[in-house]
Amino acid sequence: MRETDNRPLILVTNDDGIDAKGFRELIRIAEEFGEVVAISAQIPMSGMSHAITIKVPLRVKLLEERNGFKKYLTTGTPVDGVKLAFHSLLGRRPDLLLSGINHGSNSSSSILYSGTMGAAMEGAVNHVPSIGFSLLDYRVDADFEASAGIAREVIRMVLEKGLPDGICLNVNIPSVPASELRGIQFCHQANGYWKEEFEKRTDPNGHDYYWLTGFFHNREPRGGGLGTDEWALANHYVSVVPIQTDMTAYPFLEKMKEWEKSGMKHGS
């Protein structure tokens, strides 16, 4: 029996592409905890959310292999990569899935569009403890030093405590030096949305086209009360939000029962 057989098997993925600094950083951290299989795409997949590829076949290439480590390149989305790994590349069910470290925030409703969190949610649906990490710095050469310490801490806790089936963690890290980080806060998703401002341009042939631009609009009073991820991040805390893949609005489901009384026919 190889020594690695007793170590956790960790799947690492991201949505910024296989050469992203945050991905290399997360692989390095994961290797401290166990055997690592990494998979990502050549091109950035930001904004791919939970998209899957149905109409074209996927390609996979083993780029690197050494003791306790394999790295694959795929043509698929982050969720495609997770599915491929689970079902065709890993010899057994992984003990942990790590996604990131994303270059840029995935707090509040940004999670809806996030390929990083799409991959983490795919892990949760498949009952694998999964964590998505994002640093609030979009730059290619972002500094992940403070993020590394946070990632180690959260990974250690999840390996020890586990996560309930169908729930993953959305971890966002403020872009400040480690010395200015005030700790971790367990939060709920702030009520906010992306306010788009499409920029309309005309191409050299006279046809219009649109570029998606926009800024995040926080609907929370006073920038989000204590307890929201936006408040935590603005105050130099790391936000950890547990995310569920059961998207039922349970409190409203109860209220909908009242609709029955007003004439909507409802199964008995």
Residues 195-224 touching a second copy, rule: CB under 8 A, are 196-198, 200-201, 207-212
- Enumerate residues 98-117 that contact a second copy by CB under 8 A: 109, 111-113
The nearer residue to a second copy, 161 or 222, going by C-beta atoms, is: 161
Strands (E), 126-203: 130-135, 167-173, 184-186, 192-196, 199-202
Site mask for a second copy (CB under 8 A), range 40-59, x = bound: ----x-xxxxxxxxxx-xxx
The Cα–Cα gap between 89 and 225 comes to 44
The nearer residue to a second copy, 1 or 54, going by C-beta atoms, is: 54
The nearer residue to a second copy, 183 or 223, going by C-beta atoms, is: 183
**Under a CB-based contact definition with an 8 Å cutoff, are residues 46 and 112 in contact?**
no
Query: Among residues 134, 42, 112, 111, which one has the least CA distance to residue 81?
Result: 42
Which of 90, 176, 184, 234 is close enough to bind a second copy by CB under 8 A? 184
The nearer residue to a second copy, 10 or 239, going by C-beta atoms, is: 239
CA distances in angstroms from 41 to 2, 22, 118, listed in the order given? 30, 14, 14
- Enumerate residues 152-181 that contact a second copy by CB under 8 A: 153, 157, 160-161, 164, 166-167
Compute the least distance from the CB of residue 264 to a second copy, in Å: 5
Angle (nearest 5°) at CA 244 between 157 and 252: 140
Which of 67, 179, 202, 268 is close enough to bind a second copy by CB under 8 A? 268
Cβ neighbors of 84 (< 8 A, separation 6 or more) are 39, 58, 60, 72, 74, 76
Compute the least distance from the CB of residue 33 to a second copy, in Å: 16
The residue count for binding a second copy (CB under 8 A) is: 84
The Cα–Cα gap between 109 and 241 comes to 12
Compute the least distance from the CB of residue 75 to a second copy, in Å: 9
**Under a CB-based contact definition with an 8 Å cutoff, are residues 69 and 44 in contact?**
no
- Enumerate residues 78-97 that contact a second copy by CB under 8 A: 79-80, 83-84, 86-88
Which of 96, 131, 232, 233 is close enough to bind a second copy by CB under 8 A? 232
Which of 162, 177, 183, 223 is close enough to bind a second copy by CB under 8 A? 183
Which of 24, 70, 220, 245 is close enough to bind a second copy by CB under 8 A? 245
The nearer residue to a second copy, 1 or 253, going by C-beta atoms, is: 253
**Under a CB-based contact definition with an 8 Å cutoff, are residues 129 and 96 in contact?**
yes
What residue type is assigned to position 199 of the chain? E
The nearer residue to a second copy, 134 or 185, going by C-beta atoms, is: 185
Q: Which residue has the tokens 């996979």?
A: 60
User: In which element (H, E) is residue 215 found?
Assistant: strand 214-218
Cβ neighbors of 104 (< 8 A, separation 6 or more) are 46, 134, 135, 136, 137, 138
Compute the least distance from the CB of residue 158 to a second copy, in Å: 10
**Does residue 20 interact with a second copy by CB under 8 A?**
no
